[in-house]
Chain A
Amino acid sequence: MTVLDVIALISIAYFAALNAIYLVFTVIAWRRVASYARARSHAALEEAFASPLTPPISVILPAFNEEAGIVESVRSLLGVRYPELEIVVVNDGSTDGTLERLRQAFDLVPVRKALRDSLPTAAIHGVEMARRTPQLVVVDKANGGKADALNAGINAARYPYFCAIDADAVLEEEALLRVAQPILDDPDLVVASGGIIRIANGCTVDHGRVVDVRLPKSPLATLQVIEYFRGFLIGRVAWSRLNALLIISGAFGVFHRATVEAAGGYWTSTVGEDVELVLRLHRYLRERDEPYRIVFVPDPVCWSEVPEDLRTLSRQRRRWQRGLGETLWRHRRLIGRPRFGVIGLVALPYVLVFEFFGALIEVLGVPLTLVWWAMGELSLAFGIAFLILAFLFGMLLSLGALALEEFSFRRQPRARDVGRLLAFLFVESVGYRQLNELWRTLALVDLTRRKRGWGAQRRRGFARA
């Protein structure tokens, strides 16, 4: 057996294993989401809203140069249905008019607020509160990055749970009640709960509410709609079922504050602070043999804008992959360790092989196949058949995710948008996904060069009614 034969066998095994896992995940997700969607009709949301026993939540919005949308985001949060809520905006050293906009809109006044010192942060310049909406607190601090701003928000938070959301995100009216449901059902066990991120490009936002759901006009954003279905409705639902959810999106998640503080808060030296925190919570609680659950709820929606140009998208994906790499490196001791249960034995090895190195394997697969073929070791017919099979299977998995959305939540009200998504399935499997793998591979280069920081962010803003 030659080296090329070994590589070929590994490639086929990799392909078979990855798709088998995806298939199993799809089955798990269909069962869970179908059951969840049926249970929605008898979710006691009104009771949770009316109950004095529903724990209050501090919503934390880290904001860096968000003058364009910060006021609307805060107004949107003030309209969210939840019995007791405070909103902590952390102005992370913005150089634009973020703070001024907040002052003008909400009549802020300085308050000598006592802040916890449980998590170290960059210097706090001051705290202001809204005269007419006392549940709004604005912490002004020196720039320290998103994780640092979240830590400052945790230090300022009053309530036992906090919800971290992006400053440009729009929560649906009942999103907090729904995402908090697992915590209400089992407060002694559930330490964190995440909701779904849906793509707001193309939607119309009025007074902080998405009032008209449409697909984005941009093809690139439309491709991400399908990608998000796969990631959230299949991946996260299945991992959550296995109690091995490794990420709660930084854009929308609720956490038990004291547990996060005890685990050390957000790690400020990574651009993947959301995945790192969740993994650290797993580690912290498993090291102490404490029973816990970290869950994903597929229904509470946070609408968020995604990049519409290749440059911004490539930066985002390289950053995500870098964050993953930094997280895996920091927690490398957990990989393969039975002590960490399903996290050490299943989730982390999967992420390492298929999510982190998978991109490299898939990118290298193309030239290797060509070399193999040029050396006469690969029949052209077999190569083409294998390629078609791989693309078709990938397309079917995306179709499975789209069908799951259609059979459960059906958030796209227009039939023609569903038709458009179906048409985009081909491009998503042949072209878009490979491009993603390329970006993720380039992130490995970024990691070896020890690249830091987030890079420039470009926001288009929502379409207004």
Chain B
Amino acid sequence: MIRIAAVVTLALAAVGAITVVTLVVRRLLLARELRRHDADAARLRPVALAIVDGEPPEAELEPGDAIVLADLLRRYGRQLTGPSRERIGAYLETTGAVEEALQELRSRRSWRRAAAAFALGDMGSRRAAGPLLAALEDHERDVRAAAARSLGRLGVVEAVERLVAALAEVTVPRVIAAQALVSIGESAAPRLTPLLDADDPAVRRAALDVLGLVGSAADAALVVRSLRDPSAEVRSGAARALGSLGGRAGSDELRRSLDDRVAFVRASAANALARVGDRSAAPALAELARSDEFAPARAGAYALSALDPAFLAAEVGRPGASQYLLEAADVAAL
């Protein structure tokens, strides 16, 4: 028994010693590598900025420098849009960095595919559109999510149909599919409207969230129908979407939604009325602020404050004004 314990102890001690040596050596090597990388990045920053400004370097860079430069440009590409990003894309295509990332997109390791899909969105090269569309079918969710995000970053209109499907089927996190569609913009709207009749209320709600952000006032008529949806979440989403779309098309329906049986729908309707600027809703909003429960009453008071400050002031001046009206008035006075 003691012999077994001694052998196990020695084995554990050996594992510990190897781990400690590995950690120390690795840390020293990494520190040296990091110092070198930082120095290279500082040296190449002016070159990267020149490329963004449309002046690519004439001489060919060392392979190590090319990697650091590509990394810098990708970081800039994440913050930029328009011609600056297109110049980054064009330069990275000529250096082969885009091709390398496309090859990584076929890697056997899923995290490499995901990292490549993500990087391609920052490189700004339209050559990536096709492979990224294919990556939306990857069996790993992380890869699909990175591809969706990059298709949005690149504004690939051809991806709308697949992204809408991803939004409905949750093959990528809804927030990523939605944000990609928002990035692509108004061309996503026509593909979203069929989802307003989907069986799953969560899909209808997600479609409304995006439609509110990418649609136009013309879509309001379609969205108004959803204010009568059996799902309270969908009705609330419809109110939010109408508020985002603006225009007065849904005002009457929104005013009716102030009497919805679910409190958070009433609150959403109040917020939306403030955003569409329907001052005729002021008396109804004041009534909401006077007599409803917390969320809708508070929303009503703030909506009234945004729409008609004079009406709010008159309400606050009345004896027994509700605490929500008082709060809205005090906050407005800040």
Residues of A within 8 A of B (CB): 35, 38-39, 41-42, 44, 46-48, 50-54, 109-114, 116, 129, 131, 134, 184-188, 379, 381-382, 385-386, 388-389, 392-393, 395-396, 399-400, 402-403, 406, 410, 415, 418-419, 422
Closest to A400 in B: B19
Stretch of B125-133, B170-178, B221-229 lying at the A interface: B170-178
Main secondary structure of the interface of A (DSSP, over half): helix
Closest to B113 in A: A42
Knowing A186-B173, A188-B202, A382-B1, the reply to whether A39 touches B111 (Cβ < 8 A) is yes
Contacting pair B9 A389 (CB below 8 A): yes
Q: Which of B9, B20, B334 contacts A422 (CB 8 A)?
A: B20
Knowing A51-B175, A112-B326, A116-B294, the reply to whether A42 touches B334 (Cβ < 8 A) is no
- Please name all residues of chain A whose beta carbon is closer than 8 Å to the beta carbon of B20 when the two chains form the complex: 399, 422
Closest to B116 in A: A42
Contacting pair A422 B182 (CB below 8 A): no
Knowing A42-B142, A44-B149, A419-B24, the reply to whether A385 touches B179 (Cβ < 8 A) is no
Contacting pair A51 B27 (CB below 8 A): no
Stretch of B10-18, B55-63, B92-100 lying at the A interface: B10-18
Give CA–CA (A360, B106) in the complex, Å. Answer: 55
Q: Chain B's nearest CB lies how many Å from the CB of A151? A: 15
Q: Chain A's nearest CB lies how many Å from the CB of B225? A: 22
Give CA–CA (A402, B16) in the complex, Å. Answer: 12
For window 184-226 of B, CB contacts with A under 8 Å fall at 202, 209, 213
- Please name all residues of chain B whose beta carbon is closer than 8 Å to the beta carbon of A47 when the two chains form the complex: 149, 152, 176, 179
For window 281-334 of B, CB contacts with A under 8 Å fall at 294, 297-298, 322-324, 326-327, 330-331, 334
Closest to A415 in B: B27
Q: Chain B's nearest CB lies how many Å from the CB of A362? A: 19
Closest to A410 in B: B30
Contacting pair B334 A131 (CB below 8 A): yes
Other CB < 8 Å A-B pairs besides A53-B182, A386-B5, 15 of them? Answer: A41-B115, A42-B118, A47-B179, A50-B179, A51-B182, A53-B175, A113-B323, A113-B330, A114-B294, A114-B322, A129-B330, A389-B5, A392-B9, A399-B16, A422-B23
Contacting pair A385 B6 (CB below 8 A): yes
Q: Which of A48, A386, A389, A418 contacts B175 (CB 8 A)?
A: A48
17 A-B residue pairs with Cβ-Cβ distance under 8 Å, sorted by A, are A42-B114, A42-B119, A44-B145, A44-B146, A47-B176, A51-B178, A53-B179, A53-B182, A114-B297, A184-B173, A385-B6, A388-B9, A389-B5, A396-B16, A400-B19, A403-B22, A422-B24
Q: Is B134 an interface residue when CB atoms closer than 8 A count as contact? A: no
Q: Is B39 an interface residue when CB atoms closer than 8 A count as contact? A: no
- Please name all residues of chain A whose beta carbon is closer than 8 Å to the beta carbon of B323 when the two chains form the complex: 112-114
Q: Chain A's nearest CB lies how many Å from the CB of B73? A: 16
Q: Chain A's nearest CB lies how many Å from the CB of B182? A: 7
- Please name all residues of chain B whose beta carbon is closer than 8 Å to the beta carbon of A415 when the two chains form the complex: 24, 27-28, 31
Closest to A184 in B: B175
Closest to A182 in B: B173
- Please name all residues of chain B whose beta carbon is closer than 8 Å to the beta carbon of A116 when the two chains form the complex: 294
Q: Chain B's nearest CB lies how many Å from the CB of A372? A: 15
Q: Which 5 A-B pairs have the closest CB atoms?
A: A42-B118, A385-B5, A185-B173, A112-B326, A114-B323
Interface size on B, residues (CB 8 A): 54
Closest to B3 in A: A385
- Please name all residues of chain B whose beta carbon is closer than 8 Å to the beta carbon of A41 when the two chains form the complex: 115, 118
Q: Which of A39, A50, A112, A395 contacts B327 (CB 8 A)?
A: A112
Knowing A44-B149, A389-B8, the reply to whether A403 touches B19 (Cβ < 8 A) is yes
Q: Is B45 an interface residue when CB atoms closer than 8 A count as contact? A: no
Q: Which of B13, B23, B114 contacts A402 (CB 8 A)?
A: B23
- Please name all residues of chain B whose beta carbon is closer than 8 Å to the beta carbon of A402 when the two chains form the complex: 23
**Residue in A47, A385, A400 whose Cβ sees the most chain B Cβ within 10 Å:** A47
Contacting pair A396 B15 (CB below 8 A): yes
Q: Chain A's nearest CB lies how many Å from the CB of B7? A: 10
Contacting pair B6 A42 (CB below 8 A): no
Contacting pair B12 A389 (CB below 8 A): yes
Closest to B122 in A: A46
Q: Chain A's nearest CB lies how many Å from the CB of B268? A: 12
Give CA–CA (A209, B244) in the complex, Å. Answer: 36
Contacting pair A406 B26 (CB below 8 A): yes
- Please name all residues of chain B whose beta carbon is closer than 8 Å to the beta carbon of A39 when the two chains form the complex: 111, 114, 142
Contacting pair B2 A379 (CB below 8 A): yes
Q: Is B256 an interface residue when CB atoms closer than 8 A count as contact? A: no
Give CA–CA (A51, B210) in the complex, Å. Answer: 11
Contacting pair A42 B173 (CB below 8 A): no
Contacting pair A38 B9 (CB below 8 A): no
- Please name all residues of chain B whose beta carbon is closer than 8 Å to the beta carbon of A419 when the two chains form the complex: 24
Contacting pair B175 A134 (CB below 8 A): no
Q: Chain B's nearest CB lies how many Å from the CB of A258? A: 9
Closest to A55 in B: B175
Q: Is B78 an interface residue when CB atoms closer than 8 A count as contact? A: yes
Contact with A along B140-182 (1 / 0, CB 8 A): 0010011001001000000000000000000001111011001
Contacting pair B175 A54 (CB below 8 A): yes
Give CA–CA (A52, B213) in the complex, Å. Answer: 8
Closest to B329 in A: A112
- Please name all residues of chain B whose beta carbon is closer than 8 Å to the beta carbon of A131 when the two chains form the complex: 334
Give CA–CA (A45, B179) in the complex, Å. Answer: 12
Q: Chain B's nearest CB lies how many Å from the CB of A19? A: 11
Give CA–CA (A186, B202) in the complex, Å. Answer: 12
- Please name all residues of chain B whose beta carbon is closer than 8 Å to the beta carbon of A52 when the two chains form the complex: 182, 213
- Please name all residues of chain B whose beta carbon is closer than 8 Å to the beta carbon of A382 when the two chains form the complex: 1-2, 5
Closest to B24 in A: A419
